[in-house]
Amino acid sequence: MNNTDKKNTATLILSCKDQKGLVAKIAQFIFQRGGNIVDLDEHVDSDEKMFFIRVEWDLSELSISCQQFEDEFKNLADEIDAKWEIKYSYNKHKLAIFVSKYDHCLQEILWRYKNGELDAEIKLIISNHTTLEEIAKRYEIPFYYFPITKENKHEQELKELELLESYKIDTIVLARYMQILSPLFIEKYPNNIINIHHSFLPAFVGANPYKKAYERGVKLIGATSHYVTEELDEGPIIEQDVIRITHKDSLNDLIRKGKDLERLVLARAVNLHINNRVLKYGKKTIIFQ
């Protein structure tokens, strides 16, 4: 099912210790209450003996309210000692995009958004520079400028958080935002801040990864999109990709090819997140296809 096919669905994301009959129990529960399953993906980690599932079902013939469904499902979840959440297609994710001066990731996301490929609402763009304001105007998305210095960073972040709350933002996308967010943000938006790192993590962390890769003579370069945690570039990975390079490629070639990867990897990661296909598990993620 793609985004344009979605009408009125609910999605369950669940994890628990592996037990017999879990898929049958969950599917039967949904069926008995009038839900029609349209997508199901499950995985068992045989080493950890953990069970993970994503189930999406049509709500049009549900025999009870969504709240009643959740109240009743809690009994089943408690019985199997599960962590779970249910998301509804009519509650679209509300995104804020943070940018600095580079435009390629922002352009990719906004282009896909305009073409209906991102089933979310981009409510605003925040930047520590005014460089990309014209792009925001072109797409008619509110743009907010917060210059950041060592002296005013805490004060400015408090203002940004207040603004995000006023827009009811649930997800932040760092589209090459060249600032390190403070623990204030991470605490407020756990597993809901998506970053793009211009390297195939865990290799070449930190600044200037293309220069480091060029000097090392690597044959592949990559890009990594991950959730932001307090440990720099150590958050759970959502999406990655690589491209082959040769000795003929200059540093500028690496940067050019890397930018192509960055914009595509970030867009794919955002799409996975807003379609509730990512389950964080320890330092890793389960990606439901």
Active site residues: 233
Please count the CA atoms within 13 angstroms of the CA of 113 that sit on its side-chain side. 24
What backbone phi and psi angles, to 5 degrees, belong to 152? -110, 5
| 3-state helix, strand and coil shares in percent for the chain, rounded to the nearest 5 | 35, 30, 35
At residue 270, what is the residue type?
A: V
Query: What one-character-per-residue DSSP string does 248-281 give?
Result: T--HHHHHHHHHHHHHHHHHHHHHHHHTT-EEEE
Please count the CA atoms within 13 angstroms of the CA of 199 that sit on its side-chain side. 17
Give the whole-angstrom CA distance, residue 204 versus residue 206: 7
Q: Which residues of 100-128 are buried (b: 16+ CB within 10 A; e: fewer)?
A: bebbbbbbbbbebbeeeebbbebbbbbbb
3-state secondary structure at position 190: coil
Maximal CA-CA distance, the chain = 64
Is the torsion defined by CA of 199, 250, 175, 127 positive or negative? Answer: positive
